[in-house]
Amino acid sequence: MLTEAPVNLLQSYQSGLSSYDEVLDLRGNVKPHWNALFATLEKLGLDELKSRNQEIIGKLRENGVTYNVYGSPDGMNRPWQLDPIPFLIEQKEWNQIAKGLQQRAVLLDLMLKDLYGPQKLVRDGIIPAELVFDNTGFFRPCIDIKIPGSNQLTLFAADMARGPDGQMWIVDNRTQAPSGSGYTLENRVVMSKLLPELADGMYVSKLAPYFNSLQSTISRLADKSKDAPNIVYLTPGPSNEAYFEHAYLASYLGYTLAQGDDLLVRNGSVWLKSIDGLQKVDVILRRIDDDWCDPLELREDSRLGVPGLLQAIRMGNVQVLNAPGSSVLENHAFLAFMENISQYFLGEKLIMPSVATWWCGHRKELSYVLEHLDELIIKKGNRKTKFRSIYGRLLSFQEKEEVKRMLLKNPHEFIAQQEVSLSTTPSLINGNIEPRYAALRAFMVADENGYYVMQGGLTRSSPVKDRFVISNQYGGLSKDTWIVSNKTEEVQEKVSLPSPASVNKHVSLPSRSAENLFWVGRYCERTMAVIKFMNITINVLNLDRNFGGSAKQEHIKVLLQSVTHLSATYPGFLDEEVDHFRNPYQEIIDLISNTNRPGSIASNIGAFLNAVGAVRNQWDLETWRIVDLIDNGFHEIRNASSMNSNNIQKTLDGLFNNMFTFLGVIAESMPRDNSFLLLETGKLIERILSRISVIQSNFGVVNSQAVENELIEATLINHHSLVNYRQIYKSHLSVEAMLDMVLLEKALPYSLVYMLDELKSNLGKLPTTTRGDRLNEAERSVLKAVTAVKLANVAELSKTGRNSERHELFSLLSEVSRLISSVSISLTNMYFSHTIMHHSFFEPADYDTDEI
Amino acid sequence: MKYKLVHKTKYEYAQAVNNYHSLLCLMPRTLPNQSCRNFNIQITPQPSQIVERTDFYGNKTHYFSLHAPHKELTVLTTALVERNVEDMGALFMPSEISCAAARQRQLGDRSLKIALLEYILPSPMVKWGQDITAFASDCFQEDMPLYDCVINLCRKIYTEFDFVPDFTTVHTPIEEVLAAKKGVCQDFSHLAIACIRSFGFAARYVSGYLETLPPRGRPKLQGSDASHAWISVFIPDYGWCDFDPTNNVVPGERHIVTAWGRDYSDVPPLKGIIFSYGKHTLTVEVDVIPV
């Protein structure tokens, strides 16, 4: 017997529509491809869609896809939000849209050449002179910055929305360092992995050709005489909101990710400071805004740029995309003149209209704006003015009068725009499919034939009903954008992963990345060393508390003091004033959870996560997944004070295991290049120093046999050697036998000689900065340390001298410790030395953010 | 009048500087009434290259960079400059056009408006509020000649302000100068420009040199001259006309023009980006020697 059909998703969606929607055509019929998508959704079922959505959220999190939000309470990174329901545009319609976009790109390119050249637009009265001379994006030093080739505007992104008549409108232009293409790509990758069946029966155009086109445009600009041009992706750094995208695109495109002070201008060329020395840079794809590019000629307080960069461009020794100065086109006021500009340059009408815009500097326009304030949005022409758009209809009578006064006072500073009504599109909201306002960013790149339009784009939809909140800074959903057709008319394939990018073979590791990798190794090991020994100590403590008596507490005191030495959290358990030993847990919990205390486990993990984030282009997905788990543990551990000791240990164990896995994944998967060597080197240095510290503080002073037995056991566990020891010596515990094992046993990865030998071999593989086969400073120090340890006589070391000190042991270990610490300094001088940029007058300024 | 111009700038650093990028704007302009010959730049330590460029305003700039550690840097420029200017004095008035008429002309003529606009709008270091307008309001009358108004303004600044070196820095806002009533030529020029622009007229910043005369009967001391700054105002029917609010004179043959722009930030004589820690000291010696 047939039961009533389940609620039809499409019907129920349609019944919730209150304005024009992407699903319907102008006559109110459902567009065929939306019909198909809803049929697939129906088949999938809402519950399955919800569970896939959870997987998407998990996947994005794991992949570390974030959009940093300044001043958000829970730290900086916000997971990127992707709606599982894509935005569909039919191929034929898209082809029309693409024509409009291409025309717009051509116009903007002509404008860019004119504004930094003959300025005919101004002289012939097509645009008012204010649009040039009162435009904060017009940079006078850029008048002679030119890119070879026919186009000055290489990359261009346009924000579009659909008006009530079904026509797409251009709402905004991004012309200096357009953002969002990397998020677009990641959206597609995640969607095609987790919801492949959504595209059933449709052909979705690929994104990869856009990136291929970008790569070939860039390689055309690179030095032809070199077979492996050096291309750099210039980012403002990890604190920028779109840093994920910078790292993601750099590694997808195969370019070196660098920050301003990784680069240096010398003799009119740009060089990358790498651990192989200076490498000449041919092309820079920049993600820093115009005014920050060169502190010598643009904003002098910029620490993100490269002094002398403009001169290097002028001399033709480097190409920068987009060329500095292109922000001149981002002034909102140009939208008011685009129709005239199109007529002037091309003798054509605009194929795709701009949102209706009025520049208030003209008397007629100003009076129109004053009369129609209710329907308009007031903005400043100049983008970077920290001015919030004013919605006329939201103003009280009094506020309106104030706005009018403001407009009349400086009319040429303002523009007014028609408040665009947007189309709605199906979105998954709280488990239901609901209409939400959406807008679309399209991406273009100049190629040999004009402008190539990405077959897709970044759709943002509003998380709230009946209101459009577009900015990711304030929260918002993104959507994959599908250009769909029924059959492969043009050569197209089903949704698939983008083809692997052609690679830049000339990869040198920037000094900054090198330093970060080194510290990833050090912080990882430092954290693990403290956790490991902390756990050993807590176990002993628990054993004593639950089963032991008060008679043999001396070893606990030694262990606790070793914890303080190891973590360098003085005075800690060495504090004579406080009796920590009655209740050591308070100090232990602080050592675990206090992020503000240098040396604590929490602060070390924080430093580790920062270092990992700063070189995120180095990690693959497996690694990110582990980093995400460590990040979770980090959040748990900070609340250690509210946990019982059992849970604390569980969390510590979890963290330790995850960090071990992190090292394991790296050991098993990371290419054996300089990145790997530096990370390993950092790890080994820290491992040696931490093991030495524990041996020194446990055995520097002689204790009673019973106490020493406890310490021997703890030390052996700390060196992962207890099992091995028992196999050889059974239950006989002696300091001499233990020292022989942890110092000299070549087959044990945690013995001092093993670690020192490894360190020595690592250093030998790093790029040489010395002549021929001469040892460098770092290698010499390690050789000295290895030799000293190998020549040591364990029997002598175990002996007790005056004041019950093991003088020989203590001084040997101190010397090794000193030598290995000096290795770190030598490496810093050899590979990482950054010079600090200094300005005669420096006031740090906020970096204006480019919202996606 | 012919001059030999010598301008020596010396930086001494506490810590060695490894990398240095610099942009000089020191070459006197060639103008109908000024010629510049034998311009020479000598930089120690010697850079591998000095690159000349003509900037947006037609000024000549020179770029160089240094990449070897150094604790001392000297930039020495020399030139032979000839000025053919009648020392006009305040008696001669080039144009009697009134403020009202001048404003009308600027509005009506598009090419004039385009040429003047950036000198009428606020610029990076010249912004104004009511205080500035109020200060200048008794100098500007709609029916008076614009030229006279600017003369009045310069006289007012000259009489009400004290020339006090080291009170201001290159970044002291005009409002502070106005409140303290003291500063140096750069401050007075910025103040005058702000006043003139606040009434809707075009004014630009001129950077250059001034030959100073020794006290009567005394020999002229070496290095006693100075780089100087004054203003230029656009007077319809005449063109750009220079005024020196610091000395309350109309610049003549003792003023040598190096560069002009909207304000100081367009034409700093010497700017540089240093890669180093630590402090530095700066000494400047200028000689404008009649030949």
CA distance B252 to B210: 10
Average pLDDT over residues B40-68: 96
Residues A758, A751: Cα–Cα separation, whole Å:
11
Q: Contact A308/B121, CB-based, under 8 Å?
A: no
* Closest chain A residue to B279, measured at CA: A840
Residues 6+ apart with CB under 8 A from A472: A67, A69, A241, A460, A478, A851, A852
From residue A355, how far is each of A334, A344, A515 by CA, in Å? 11, 19, 48
Per-residue pLDDT at B88: 54
Contact B261, B204 (CB under 8 A): yes
Please name the member of A129, A266, A840 whose beta carbon is closest to the beta carbon of B67: A266
Helix ranges (H only) for A195-270 are 208-221, 243-253
Exposed e or buried b per residue across A705-730, where buried means at least 16 C-beta atoms within 10 angstroms of its C-beta: eebbbbbbbbbbbbbebbebbeeeee
> What is the rounded distance in angstroms from the CA atom of residue A359 to the CA atom of residue A379?
10
Which of residues 200 through 259 in chain B touch A, CB cutoff 8 A? none
Q: Classify A39 in phi/psi space as left (phi over 0), alpha (psi -120 to 50) or beta.
A: alpha
Q: Cβ A265–B277 below 8 Å, yes or no?
A: no
What is residue B122's three-state secondary structure?
A: coil
Kindly list the residues from chain B whose CB atom is less than 8 angstroms away from the CB atom of residue A130: 117, 121
How sure is the predictor about A420, in pLDDT bands with cuts at 50, 70 and 90? confident
Nearest to B127 by CA among B201, B191, B206: B191
Kindly state the tokens that stand for A218: 């860039």
Judged by DSSP in three states, B225 sits in strand
Q: What is the distance in angstroms between the Cα of A515 and the nearest Cα belonging to chain B? A: 19
- Cβ-based neighbours of A223, under 8 Å, separated by 6 or more: A229, A282
How close, in Å, is residue B93 to chain A by CA atoms?
Answer: 31
Is A508 in contact with A274 (CB distance < 8 Å)?
yes
10 Å Cβ neighbour count for B212?
14
Chain A contact for B277 (CB, 8 A cutoff)? yes
The pLDDT value given to residue A548: 60
**Is A300's CB within 8 Å of B273's CB?**
yes
Mutation choice for A interface testing from B20, B65, B111 by most A CBs within 10 A: B65
Q: What is the helix, strand, coil percentage profile of chain B, to 5?
A: 25, 40, 35
The structure tokens listed for B176 are 């502070």
C-alpha neighbours within 13 Å on the C-beta side of residue A615? 24
Is B23's CB within 8 Å of A296's CB? yes
CA distances from A172 to A133, A353, B220 (A): 21, 11, 63
Q: Flag if B273 and A264 touch (Cβ within 8 Å).
A: no
Q: Which residues contact A69 (CB under 8 A, 6 or more apart)?
A: A76, A77, A78, A241, A472, A473
C-alpha radius of gyration, chain B, whole number: 20
At B43 the three-state DSSP class reads strand
Chain A residues with CB-CB distance to B22 below 8 A: 296
HSE-up of residue A313 (Cα within 13 Å, Cβ side): 26
Q: Which of these ranges, A352-361, A430-439, B91-100, has the smallest mean pLDDT? A: B91-100
So what's the pLDDT on residue B244?
A: 94
Contact B117 A130 (CB under 8 A): yes
Pair A270, A223: CB distance under 8 Å: no
**How much of chain B, in percent, has pLDDT values that exceed 70?**
95
Question: Strand, helix or coil at A594?
Answer: coil
Q: Which residues of B touch A840 (CB under 8 A)?
A: 271-272, 274
Instruction: Return the H-helix or E-strand segment holding A113.
Output: helix A91-115
Tokens of A528: 């693990």
Average pLDDT over residues B98-116: 92
Residue A577: predicted pLDDT = 83
| Beta pairing class for A231-234 and A256-258 | parallel
| Helix, strand, coil fractions of chain A, as percent rounded to 5 | 50, 15, 35
Helix (H, G, I), strand (E, B) or coil at A481: strand
- Look at residue A852 in the predicted model and tell me its pLDDT: 41
Report the greatest alpha carbon distance in chain A. Answer: 100
Here the tokens at position A550 are 């008060």
Task: Tell whether B170 lies on the interface with A, counting CB pairs under 8 A.
Answer: yes
Q: Using one digit for the tens of pLDDT, what is the confidence trace for A753-784? A: 999 999 999 999 998 866 667 888 999 999 99
Number of H helices, E strands in chain A: 27, 23
Cβ contact A208:A497 at 8 Å: no
Q: What is the token pair recorded at B84?
A: 């053919």
- Listed by number, the residues of chain B in 81-100 with a beta carbon closer than 8 Å to a beta carbon of chain A are none
| Residue A179, token pair as written in the block | 């953002």
Residues of B in contact with A133 (CB under 8 A): 117-118, 121
How many Å apart are CA A467 and CA A461, to the nearest integer? 10
First-to-final CA distance of chain B: 8
Closest C-alpha among B125, B73, B77 to residue B274? B73
From the list A664, A518, A240, the residue with the least C-alpha distance to A257 is A240
pLDDT at A846: 40
User: Whose structure tokens read 């930094």?
Assistant: A116
A796-845 pLDDT per residue, tens: 999 888 788 999 999 999 999 999 999 998 898 888 865 554 443 333 33
Question: What is the residue type of B105?
Answer: R
Residues A715, A694: contact at Cβ < 8 Å?
Answer: yes
Give me the half-sphere count of Cα atoms (radius 13 Å) on the Cβ side of residue A157: 24
Res A507: pLDDT: 64
Give residue-wise pLDDT tens across range B222-260. 666 788 999 999 999 889 999 999 999 888 888 999 999
Q: What is the mean pLDDT of residues A557-569?
A: 94
Rounded to two decimals, the ipTM of the complex is: 0.94
Contacts A307 to B, Cβ<8 Å: 21, 273
pLDDT band with cut points at 50, 70 and 90 for residue A847: very low
DSSP annotation of A744: I
Comparing CA positions, the residue from A690, A535, A526 lying closest to residue A608 is: A526
- Cβ-contact B172, B128 below 8 angstroms: no
Residues of chain A contacting B276 with CB distance shorter than 8 Å: 835-836, 838
Q: How many A-B residue pairs are in contact by the CB < 8 A criterion?
A: 78
Amino acid identity, residue B84? Answer: N
- Band (pLDDT 50/70/90 cuts) for residue A576 is confident
**Most confident region among A485-489, B61-65, B271-275 by mean pLDDT:** B61-65
CA distance A58 to A137: 40
- How big is the CA angle at A391 (ends A387 and A394), to the nearest 5 degrees? 125
The arithmetic mean of pLDDT across residues A236-240, rounded, is 86
Would you tell me the crossing angle of helices A705-718 and A674-699 to the nearest 10 degrees?
170
- The CA distance from A142 to the nearest CA of chain B, in Å, is 9
Residues A386, A389, A395: CA angle, nearest 5 degrees: 130
3-state secondary structure of A70: coil
Burial of A66 (0-12, 13-18, 19+ CB in 10 A): buried
DSSP letter for A742, please. Answer: I
Measured CA to CA in angstroms, residue A383 lies from A358, A654, B123 at distances of 16, 48, 17
Determine whether the interchain pair A837/B171 forms a contact, defined as Cβ–Cβ distance below 8 Å. no
Best mean pLDDT range from A133-142, A502-511, A834-843, B12-21? A133-142
The yes-or-no verdict on residue A473 having pLDDT over 90 is: no
Vertex A663 angle, CA A720 and A749, to 5°: 30
Phi, then psi, of A222 in degrees rounded to 5: -75, 165
Using CB atoms, which residue from A119, A123, A837 is nearest to B275?
A837
User: pTM for this structure?
Assistant: 0.86
**Which pLDDT value is given to residue B171?**
85
User: What torsion, rounded to 10 degrees, do the Cα atoms A725, A731, A737, A743 define?
Assistant: 30
Of B21, B57, B266, the CB nearest to A308: B21
Neighbours of A807 (CB within 10 A): 15
